[in-house]
Amino acid sequence: MMNVLFLEIDTRSSWALTSAGPGFIAAFLRQYGHDINLMRIKPEDSPREIIEKIIKKAPDIIGISLTSRIWPRAAKLVFAIKKKVKVPVIAGGLFPTFAPKIVLAAEGFDHVCIGEGEHAMLDLITCLEKGDDPRKKTIDNIWTAHATRPQLRKPAKDLDVLPFVARDFLNETHGVVHMFTQRGCPFLCSYCAAGALANLYGKGYVRRRSVENVIKELAKIKDQGGLNYVIFLDDTFTLNLKWIKNFCRYYKERIGVPFSIQARADTVTPDILFLLAKAGCHHLTFGVESGSLKVRKKVLSRSMTDRQIVNAFAWAKAAGILVTANYMIGLPNETPEDIDMTLELNARLNPDDFGWAVFHPFPGTLLFDLCKNESFLPENWYELPANNTHSILNMPGLTKNDISKYVKKFNQMHEKKQIERYGQYFSDNRTWVEDHSL
């Protein structure tokens, strides 16, 4: 039996949902008798405090799921940890998948997992448990420092055979449960993790659990008395009309609690939205991203029209579903006039709420390559913080000062929207955005 410790490294707050990847891997490895635990590292925790806690847990291997946002802090922490804790460290997640050389070049990291990790992690810890040297083994998806890049193993075809996620890893509270019904997305948006993974794996990466499997997991949680609301985290929930119809039928009959989803405006119809609303869908988030058709089509690879977007919002409201719109600003080759069009479209849509983020280029995406080729990207990009309010790009047509002014404008608009909804004494100018982090 191996003692595997996953570290969840928070950079801004510790109230949010933890990374989902370790929860899926934990559930899979526990089937084989391994002891899998999670330690959450708060923003205020010092390296000394973290190291003391790790030593007490005596892990055989440490795993960390990384995004671009987490990487700068993680690199410093792992450097400090390995000076005192002499166990292997493996990094998985989106940043190591698309920037593995940067991770392996950082002192303290022994392995990276490229792509999906359940079977790869099992193979690695089996190798370590036997006392074998991973550098002399061929483990698909596992790139060991000072060894050659591995082959990419085919992703699991049938998601139903995988165990349900280890919910003790997810930090869920108040009966609010988070669900994934699929892996992958058929849309190749130029900025998004889903598009990057689809390009990495190629055809066949999009897979979905059966309705029966999804309902079985939710029914189990409900029977345990811990289900009040469900948040489906699929990038585009509204795929496959037959699946949606079956889901709505069985969800209403057997689960019956309100839920929220994410969707694209060009994947919904009035009938689908009324069906979802009848089943209990209370909230829907649309990724609008930009009010400029030029930006959507030529920059973001999202060719939906203004009419499709306007109709989708109107249909959702008519079905009685609360609607949130998400936007990005500071995109490559975007102009102030393009951002003005985003503000104008938001006013036209009049969503119940909206979120926004300053664009950050993530490795593996087409826009990362564009920013690099256009010299918008600084050489030390991986050392810079990936946050929602500041741009790291150097663009002649849209300056950092321009972007800051629009951030202020979006903040003011959001605060006004919150006051309209909740009263004049309520003010919350924090952004809430869909996270496409890599």
The predicted model gives 238-243 an average pLDDT of 96
Residue 237 in this model has a pLDDT that exceeds 90: yes
Longest dimension (CA), the chain: 65
Q: Quote the pLDDT of residue 425.
A: 54
Per residue in 154-210, pLDDT (tens digit) is: 999 999 999 999 999 998 999 999 999 999 999 999 999 999 999 999 888 999 999
Residue 434 in this model has a pLDDT that exceeds 70: no
Q: What's the pTM?
A: 0.93
Dihedral class, residue 138 (left if φ above 0, else alpha if ψ from -120 to 50, else beta):
beta
Of 3.40.50.360, 3.40.50.620, 3.30.390.50, 3.20.20.70, the CATH number of 172-422 is 3.20.20.70
CATH 3.40.50.2020 fits 3-144, yes or no: no
Closest CA to 56 of 42, 39, 35, 73: 39
Query: By percentage, how much of the chain surpasses pLDDT 70?
Result: 96
Query: By percentage, how much of the chain surpasses pLDDT 90?
Result: 89
Quick one: 229 exposed, middle or buried, by C-beta within 10 A (0-12, 13-18, 19+)? middle
Domain ranges of the chain: 3-144, 172-422
Beta-sheet strands, E only, within 51-103: 61-65, 89-92
| CA separation for the pair 259, 240 (Å, rounded) | 19
The predicted model gives 101-128 an average pLDDT of 97
Residue 290 in this model has a pLDDT that exceeds 90: yes
Per residue in 252-287, pLDDT (tens digit) is: 999 999 999 999 999 999 999 999 999 999 999 999
Q: What is the mean pLDDT of the chain?
A: 94
| CA separation for the pair 251, 328 (Å, rounded) | 33
The predicted model gives 335-352 an average pLDDT of 97
Buried b (16+ CB within 10 A) or exposed e, 2-26: bebbbbbbbbeeeeebbbbbbbbbb
Residue 149 in this model has a pLDDT that exceeds 80: yes
Please tell me what DSSP assigns to residue 1: -
Residue 54 in this model has a pLDDT that exceeds 80: yes
The predicted model gives 420-437 an average pLDDT of 54
